[in-house]
Amino acid sequence: MEEDLPDDEVKYCPDCGFALPPLTTQCPRCARFGHAPVTREEPPAEFPPVASPGAYPAAASARPRSRVGLLIVAIIMVAIAVAIPFVILNSPGYKARVAYREAVQAQLAGDMETAKAKYRQALDYDPEMGLAAFGLGTACLGISIGGRTDQRMSQLLQSAAVGVTTDLDEADRWFDHSIVLANKMPTNQALQDPNISTPPKLASYAHAMKGLTALIRYYAALQADDFDIANQWLQAASAEIHQSLAFDPTNPYAHDFSGQLTP
């Protein structure tokens, strides 16, 4: 004989969890509605920790930083655009070229004192500027670049005849200096003069001018009846003219002065 279950012991349907009456072998709920899944509470899955929001850039802050970056780039570009002309216009090389052009204009206008001052200024800015040294030599003679003035030549001749050769001596020193500078330059370097456009041409013109000063001294010695000194200056003039033609066989002034070498 089976032992009766206590009235307070309640059984539950293993399928739907319905409380079964005592001695019930079939769940009346399942028989009527069908099986229903038993809902069981499962413990939450453990997920890896999520990084804090501060570890990632905020989308809202990206736009302002982009605008700031563009603004900085624009400021830098404007600064460069302003700085480049300022640097160029204040560079010694640029100032030397400006002073040289002003010297040439003054010399062609007959203002030799202004020309000499501007040539010296150009050399102060650029001590290697051979054209300025050559121009200063021609200004000391009182002639235009590559040319001569007959009245000024007569004055130099009369002064040399009485032993006053200050202008001739200073001119020769600057011609010598321009030859030294020309020999230091690359032979294909472009110079800012249409006639004296390369260092060899610069050296050629300087030697031709030294030939001219030697000829002036030669004629001054003849005028003073000092034939020995005159012969020495004639030989010096011949050497300078030949040297000029060695640097530039097409130099027109060297050819012109060579016609005066015969006593």
φ and ψ at residue 43, rounded to 5 degrees: -65, 140
Burial 2-13 (b: 16+ CB within 10 A, else e): eeeeeeeeeeeb
Most confidently modeled range among 4-8, 75-79, 238-242: 238-242
Domains of the chain with CATH codes: 92-258 (1.25.40.10)
pTM of the predicted model, to two decimals?
0.67
Strand partners, 113: none
Whether the pLDDT of residue 61 is over 60: the answer is: no
Nearest Cα to Cα of residue 208 among 194, 195, 221: 195
CA 169 – CA 164 distance, rounded (Å): 10
Sign of the Cα torsion 94, 184, 238, 161 reads: positive
Q: Are 157 and 223 in contact (CB under 8 A)?
A: yes
> CA–CA separation, 162 vs 232, rounded Å?
18
The identity of residue 231, as a single letter, is: N
- 147 pLDDT more than 50: yes
pLDDT score, position 56: 47
Residue that wins the pLDDT comparison between 210 and 151: 210
Q: What is the pLDDT of residue 91?
A: 85
pLDDT at 58: 54
Question: Hey, CA dihedral for 3, 8, 13, 14, is it positive or negative?
Answer: negative
34: confidence class by pLDDT, cuts 50, 70, 90: low
User: Does residue 199 contact residue 130 with C-beta atoms inside 8 Å?
Assistant: yes
Rounded to an integer, what distance in angstroms lies between the CA atom of residue 167 and that of residue 42?
115
Tokens of 86: 């300022």
Both ends of the chain: CA-CA distance in Å? Answer: 170
HEC profile of 94-114: HHHHHHHHHHHHHHHCCCHHH
Distance (Å, whole) CA 129 – CA 99: 11
For residue 123, the surrounding DSSP H or E stretch is helix 112-125
CB contact at 8 A, 159 and 165: yes
pLDDT digits (tens, 9 = 90+) for 204-246: 999 999 999 999 999 999 999 999 999 999 999 999 999 999 9
Q: Which two tokens stand for residue 113?
A: 């004192």
The percentage of the chain sitting over the pLDDT mark of 70, rounded to a whole number, equals 70
Distance CA 246, CA 37 (A): 117
